């Protein structure tokens, strides 16, 4: 099985629920639950992959603080190769307060912290060489890696024979395409969410969005589309949707997109084609939303496959 390298955004998530509105200044509001989990696109995907049983490494930057130790220890204890993790005394570990409403949807209060400080020079050739698939997770949050530095990394990775992948996170600066354009020509696969893809491309329709990305040099496109599943466009072929499992009511959607990415990449690591890998991605994403926390609900591949066999009537490509 191929090994995957996850690079980029990490957080400690403090998840509180239910939060359907914020209290007025000076007031107090009760909630039912507050828990702390590792979050962030790269750390989520790496832990998900390790729990699935896929070989995976994580490269990120952490502060030398309690939150940083929590991220490092959690990833390591789940089987993630953490030798590429960088600690920095000068930064705080990225944190987010995740407010989950009564419908399971979430919003974030975010401290950029260490994620925004990771540089391309801190990603070692040794870690890169050991992996087959190179995945930058959470572009738009990796402020010192986004754009030209990511392009440099992906170009090197492709020259080394690696398969290159990137997804995005919400861009609070509103720069969107400007942040990532330079990296796009060096992507074998681009996997944004539909909301982010629309803002990056300046288009609404899935096919039109994909055309913009192909025009920027991307080889293949997947757009994560929530309840619609995933839109897939392989090179010049016609686009199609991989539907997801709608019978499962979400408990918490935190990390759902990251878990789809992990499941899809787990399929590629086993040599699956895109259609089969997308089925696995949707099944892993469904397990994510069954539990509170970005990686809590993820099971070994054998259990995911059993779930897929028991729900074949729900998903048909």
Predicted confidence (pLDDT) at residue 313 exceeds the cutoff of 70: no
> What does the CA dihedral 144, 281, 304, 247 come to, rounded to 10 degrees?
120
Q: What is the H or E stretch that residue 224 is in?
A: strand 220-224
What would the CATH number be for the domain defined by 4-21+30-310?
A: 3.40.1190.20
Look at residue 262 and give its three-state secondary structure: helix
Q: What's the rounded Cα separation, in Å, for the pair 288 and 213?
A: 28
Res 315: pLDDT: 54
Q: Are 22 and 74 in contact (CB under 8 A)?
A: no
In the chain, pLDDT over 90 holds for what percent of residues? Answer: 81
- Average pLDDT of the chain is 93
Q: Which residues pair with 11 in a beta bridge?
A: 39
**pLDDT of 317 higher than 50:** no
DSSP helix/strand/coil, 13 = strand
56 Cβ neighbours under 8 A, 6+ residues apart? 3, 4, 5, 6, 45, 46, 49, 50, 79, 80, 81
Question: pLDDT by residue (tens digit) across 132-176?
Answer: 999 999 999 999 999 999 999 999 999 999 999 999 999 989 999
Q: What is the pLDDT of residues 187-212, one digit of tens each?
A: 999 999 999 999 999 999 999 999 99
Looking up tokens 């087959």, which residue turns up? 132
Domain boundaries, the chain: 4-21+30-310
Q: What are the tens digits of pLDDT across the range 277-303?
A: 999 999 999 998 888 777 888 999 999
pLDDT tens digits, one per residue of 17-60: 899 998 999 999 999 999 898 989 999 999 999 999 999 999 99
Token code pair at residue 63: 């502060």
């Amino acid at each position: 099985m191929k090994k995957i390298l996850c690079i980029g955004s990490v957080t400690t998530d403090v998840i509180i629920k239910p939060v359907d509105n914020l209290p007025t200044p000076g007031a107090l509001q009760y909630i039912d639950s507050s828990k702390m989990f590792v979050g962030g696109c790269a750390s989520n995907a790496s832990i998900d992959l390790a729990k699935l049983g896929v070989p995976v490494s994580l490269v990120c930057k952490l502060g030398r603080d309690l939150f940083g130790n929590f991220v490092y220890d959690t990833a390591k204890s789940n089987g993630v190769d953490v030798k590429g993790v960088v600690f920095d005394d000068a930064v705080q570990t990225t944190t987010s307060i995740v407010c989950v409403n009564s419908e399971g949807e979430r919003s974030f209060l975010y401290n950029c912290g260490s994620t925004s400080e990771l540089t391309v020079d801190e990603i070692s050739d040794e870690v890169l060489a050991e992996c087959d698939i190179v995945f930058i997770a959470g572009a738009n949050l990796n402020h010192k890696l986004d754009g030209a530095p990511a392009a440099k990394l992906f170009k090197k990775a492709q020259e080394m024979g690696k398969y290159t992948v990137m997804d995005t996170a919400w861009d609070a600066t509103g720069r969107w395409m400007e942040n990532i354009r330079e990296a796009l020509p060096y992507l074998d696969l681009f996997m944004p969410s539909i909301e982010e893809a629309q803002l990056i491309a300046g288009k609404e329709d899935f096919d039109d969005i994909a055309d913009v990305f192909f025009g920027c040099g991307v080889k293949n496109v997947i757009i994560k589309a929530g309840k619609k599943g995933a839109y897939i466009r392989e090179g010049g072929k016609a686009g199609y949707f991989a539907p997801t499992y709608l019978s499962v009511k979400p408990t918490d959607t935190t990390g759902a997109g990251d878990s789809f990415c992990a499941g899809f990449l787990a399929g590629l690591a086993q040599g699956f084609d895109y259609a089969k890998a997308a089925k696995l991605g949707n099944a892993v994403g469904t397990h994510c939303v069954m539990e509170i926390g970005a990686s809590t609900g993820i099971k070994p591949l054998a259990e995911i496959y059993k779930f897929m066999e028991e729900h074949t009537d729900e998903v048909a490509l």
